[in-house]
Each structure stands twice: as structure tokens, then as C-alpha cells.
Amino acid sequence: SRFETCWPALMKDSHGVIIIFNPELPSHLKEIEMWYSCFVQQQPLLDSQCLLVAHHKPGSAGDTENLSLAYPLNKIKLIHSNLEDDPEDVRMEFMKYFKSIIAFIDESREREEMSIIS
């Protein structure tokens, strides 16, 4: 990828990664493994700091129930988005994800402060 030189700057101090892909493109299913490897495993971030979003284009016959991803992607929270349907579910999932990241940052900061004190 021509942007690979920018990746270290993008990754620096990041607390979460959201990977959005088109589940109907086989090439995307291969690519998300690479994104996961670079942006999650090599950082390293926890799987709980990562969110996968399978985005279905309007009019696509996307089978949202039977998308099975191989290990290690199958350990990550996966949500399906389809803007034709009620987007409220997706918004709720995003809010849950952001709250979990904020909680993680708060915990990390507290641990850091305790280690400085002790």
C-alpha cells in the first residue's frame, strides 16, 4: 500500500482500531487479516480494542448471519452495518465500543498513576 509509510504515525498512541470492510468482496476478507496484523497485533492492542464492521451496500443481498471469519478475526466483536435498515443498532454498537475504549484508557491511566506513587 502506498500509505504504509504513514502507518507508524497513525498507530502512535492509538487506543482502538475500527476496521470497516465489504463482506461481499473476497479480497477484503484477505485484507482485513493484514490490517488486523499490522494495526492490532503489532502494536500490540487487545482484541477488545478492535471493532470489525461488515458494511453492506444498499441493494446487496448480504447474508449478515453467516459471515464466519477465521481465527484470529473470529475473536473480535463484529457488527453489520446497512444504512438502508435502521442505523440505530449500529450507533448503539459504536457507543458501546467507544465507552469500552474510554474505560480502558481510564484504567490504564489509573494503573500508571499507582505505579508512579508506589
The structural domains of the chain, with segments of one domain joined by +, span 2-115
Q: Has residue 1 got a pLDDT over 80?
A: no
Say which DSSP state 51 is in. E
Q: What angle do CA 42, 12, 48 make, to 5 degrees?
A: 55
pTM > 0.85: yes or no: no
pLDDT per position as a tens digit, 2-41: 677 887 888 888 899 999 999 988 888 889 999 999 899 9
How does pLDDT run across 38-55, given as a tens digit for each residue? 899 988 899 999 999 999
Question: Where are the alpha helices (H) located in the chain, listed in sequence order?
Answer: 7-11, 26-36, 88-117
pLDDT tens digits, 56-110 = 887 776 555 568 888 899 999 999 988 777 788 889 999 999 999 999 999 999 9
Say which CATH class 2-115 falls into.
alpha beta
